[in-house]
Structure 1
Amino acid sequence: MHWDPESGRMSPLEHALVSWLPRRRWFAGGGRDPHRVEILSAAELTTDCAAAGALVVVEVSYSDGDTELYHVPLGQRTVLPSDIGSAAVMTAADGVVYDATVDSGLMGSLLAMIGGAETSGSIGFCPEPGSWITGCDPVPGRPLGVEQSNTSVVFGDRAILKLFRHLTSGVNPELELHRVLGGARVPRLLGSIEGTLRGAPVTLGVLHEFAAGSRDGWLLATDALHNLVSGVDDGSAFVADVELLGAAVADVHVALADRLGVSTMDSETLADVLCARLDRALAAAPALGRHADRIRAVYRAPAAAGEKVLTQRVHGDLHLGQVLRAGDGWLLIDFEGEPAAEDISAPHSPLRDVAGMLRSFDYAAGQVGDAWSRCQSERWLSQVRSAFIAGYSRESGVDLGRARSVLTAYELDKAVYEVAYETRSRPAWADIPLRAVSAILGG
């Protein structure tokens, strides 16, 4: 198979990708069908296994003229083993082309290329200085098995490679901010896959230490709530853990502020940004319409009080699924921001992250169904919110009580975003953030 881009008409592979890409969980086309797919670059993998492979970057074009870039690791074998048969993209005269991330041998070769600091075309495979992967032999990799906007591959219990799918120009914040943080409250960075595309830098993947034995915050929260409701325990252990989580988030914010600086945003500008996000949400979720005027009033409240908003680099999409309880502390992961955000590297108030976590606690509490259990879950929610705020305030030195109007605006903005997301993707869940919007507005 020739991976290299060809001029003129679409190749058979490009034609196959037109129908294959929209069926992927990570495809961000918003329900649109591609009009055309063009291979822009292909970095061939160095491999000793029975497959050929390449990291392929394609441009997807739509009939309205919009375009998007995607990273599609592809493999080719004469015959595809039955256990990965569902990954096939197309069958050609010289073999089957398939999604390479399911091939443990090809993924092992990819790890070895990072460890060997190899290059392929315009793509560089880069170990971090002092990383144990430098010069390492291939280690079989397995997909993490979680459907998400990127693809993660685990190597034993030591490393995890995140392959970005929907690409944007510039260094991905996941790579940039992990280098800045240097392992403080985040998994240690081991390497990356970087290159240039049309003269601009692009990040195809990042390699981290794998936090073996860790559990994400969402599982811990829902388990704790289930145990409370069923009478297994009183929930106090998790509440104490949440206070430590608040401190961990504050540690990350303080480190990012120290190393990348702090700026100021006029609160009128913040209101304009949030109102624009509301307008987009209203188009997706008409149920928000009856609240629109009161939502805008909450967004304008900090400006009416003459408040200034301190901004810096932050996580950008913080929730319980983005934190891991590992060993005796918490780790923050997935710094690439909201999947659909256009300003993933822009500074924001740290309160945006705080609001995201507070909203995530509410989602966990919303899993409880009957009235008696919901009463317990509401008490639990009050406790964990207070614990998180206490831990964050203690470690950051920020009195969140004095920033209440800004925090409320961010929390309401997050709930509005969630209503729009759930209306599009999981309508049965939309009542959880809709109830939150009503509660924040006072009923």
Structure 2
Amino acid sequence: MSRKGAAGVERPRTRGRSTGGCSTGAPTLGKGRDAMSEAVTRTVTTPPGLLASLDPLLREWLPRQRWFAGKGRPVTGFSPVAVTELLPSTAKLGLYHLLVRAHQPILPGHDGPEQPGDCYQLLIGVREALPPRLAPALIGHVTQGPLAGRTVYEALHDTRPADLLLEALRTRARIGGLRFERDPHREIRSGLVPRLVTAEQSNSSVVYGDTFILKLLRRVVPGTNPDLELPLALARAGCLRVPPPLAWLVADPERPSGAPQPAEPYVLGVLQPFVQGAADGWDLALRALAKGEDFVAEARALGHATAEVHTVLARALPTVTLGHP
């Protein structure tokens, strides 16, 4: 049963599930009437050599992705930031969450010094073979290491991994170093059909039944992220101009050896209400111009909305007054 604190807010139950530090089977997320207030914790381990077995395939696949920032320079290797098993590879469907740094030469066309570059978030599915509907998601066939003989693919194209992410957010799961957080005062429905949005350039989004949209950041950095910080500040201040964050995904990497402080967490994704028919203000202006329609009233409304958002942010967040140079 849930317990209520002094303020009358339900405190989530936490269930620790580990078998000698190893995960067994798929995570059990949110069973029972009070699943929405239930936090599920699972300790996981990762097969040795997992990243090495994926390395040759990822070197070819990653630069072809629209959200990859290192265009024009070859990927020469990877270093792991965090690797989490979400579904074991021994099952019919395996699933791994990876945070990896892509190593690239500093200058294109040079064989000189390399550096660990940007950190990318990957969701890798593992199957014996892909059904035709998942053919566009293919990364490749693994020939070495713990996944030898299996097929790996971009798992966001698959409904079950997308379902798992929503359920983990809904139930405030913790799997390895991944924390699935949520606003306890807002409802998150389950059982919604997911679909991957294919038009984005720098990130990836999954829409759930035209009700929610989960934005997964691809190139991630440790520390505060405006994709979460700003809408969260607006929601807490009561501003309705921006859809409020309902839940968010954070990674807590292991503390580096000898470091006095824990490593800063990575914000990986934000779940918000899906606004159907929403359009960018610039696109609206171009459409009106193309049709020869007046855009004055809409421009004024956009200006008022922008001013309101910035005014609320100025009250909700620390500000600095800059002087003249």
Normalised to the residue count of structure 1, the TM-score between the two structures is 0.54
Partner of 2:198: 145
Task: Determine which of 151, 155, 169 is the counterpart of 2:222.
Answer: 169
The C-alpha deviation readout for 1:249-281, integer Å capped at 9, x for no partner, is 10111001111132122343xxxxxxxxxxxxx
Q: Does 2:233 correspond to 1:180?
A: yes
Please give the alpha-carbon distance, in whole angstroms, between the structure 2 residues aligned to 1:51 and 1:216. Answer: 38
- Give the direction of change, closer, same or farther, for the CA distance of 1:10–1:216 in structure 2 (3 Å limit): closer
Please give the alpha-carbon distance, in whole angstroms, between the structure 2 residues aligned to 1:10 and 1:79. Answer: 20
Task: Determine which of 169, 174, 196 is the counterpart of 2:252.
Answer: 196
The amino acid that maps onto 1:57 is L
Greater gyration radius:
1
Structure (1 or 2) with the greater strand fraction? 2
Partner of 2:310: 253
Partner of 2:297: 240
- Give the direction of change, closer, same or farther, for the CA distance of 1:186–1:10 in structure 2 (3 Å limit): closer
Residue segments in structure 2 that go unaligned for 5+ positions in a row: 1-43, 106-112, 143-147, 256-262
Partner of 2:37: none
The C-alpha deviation readout for 1:61-86, integer Å capped at 9, x for no partner, is 12333322100111112221212212
The amino acid that maps onto 1:142 is R
Partner of 1:59: 101
Query: For this pair of structures, how many residues does the alignment match?
Result: 256
Q: Specify the SS of the correspondent of 2:240.
A: coil
Asked whether the equivalents of residues 14 and 39 of structure 1 are also in contact (C-alpha less than 8 Å), the reply is no
Asked whether the equivalents of residues 32 and 62 of structure 1 are also in contact (C-alpha less than 8 Å), the reply is yes
- Give the direction of change, closer, same or farther, for the CA distance of 1:117–1:225 in structure 2 (3 Å limit): same
Partner of 1:110: 165
Asked whether the equivalents of residues 190 and 208 of structure 1 are also in contact (C-alpha less than 8 Å), the reply is yes
The C-alpha deviation readout for 1:290-344, integer Å capped at 9, x for no partner, is xxxxxxxxxxxxxxxxxxxxxxxxxxxxxxxxxxxxxxxxxxxxxxxxxxxxxxx
Structure (1 or 2) with the greater helix fraction? 1
The amino acid that maps onto 1:163 is L
Shift of 1:3: 8.7
The C-alpha deviation readout for 1:21-67, integer Å capped at 9, x for no partner, is 111100011421112113332233369x9522122111111233332
- Give the direction of change, closer, same or farther, for the CA distance of 1:108–1:146 in structure 2 (3 Å limit): same
Partner of 2:83: 42
Matches within 5 A, 1:196-275: 196-197=252-253, 198=255, 199-228=263-292, 235-236=293-294, 238-268=295-325
Please give the alpha-carbon distance, in whole angstroms, between the structure 1 residues aligned to 2:218 and 2:302. Answer: 29
Could you list the runs of 4 or more consecutive aligned residues of structure 1 that deviate by over 6 angstroms after TM superposition?
A: none
Q: Specify the SS of the correspondent of 1:71.
A: strand
Matches within 5 A, 1:27-426: 27-45=68-86, 51-63=93-105, 64-66=113-115, 67-92=117-142, 93-133=148-188, 136-182=189-235, 184-197=240-253, 198=255, 199-228=263-292, 235-236=293-294, 238-268=295-325
Partner of 2:39: none
The amino acid that maps onto 2:228 is L
Please give the alpha-carbon distance, in whole angstroms, between the structure 1 residues aligned to 2:186 and 2:301. Answer: 29
CA RMSD of aligned residues (A): 2.3
- Which is worse superposed, 201-210 or 181-190? 181-190
Residue segments in structure 1 that go unaligned for 5+ positions in a row: 229-234, 269-443
The amino acid that maps onto 1:192 is W
- Give the direction of change, closer, same or farther, for the CA distance of 1:46–1:189 in structure 2 (3 Å limit): farther
Asked whether the equivalents of residues 46 and 85 of structure 2 are also in contact (C-alpha less than 8 Å), the reply is no
Normalised to the residue count of structure 2, the TM-score between the two structures is 0.73
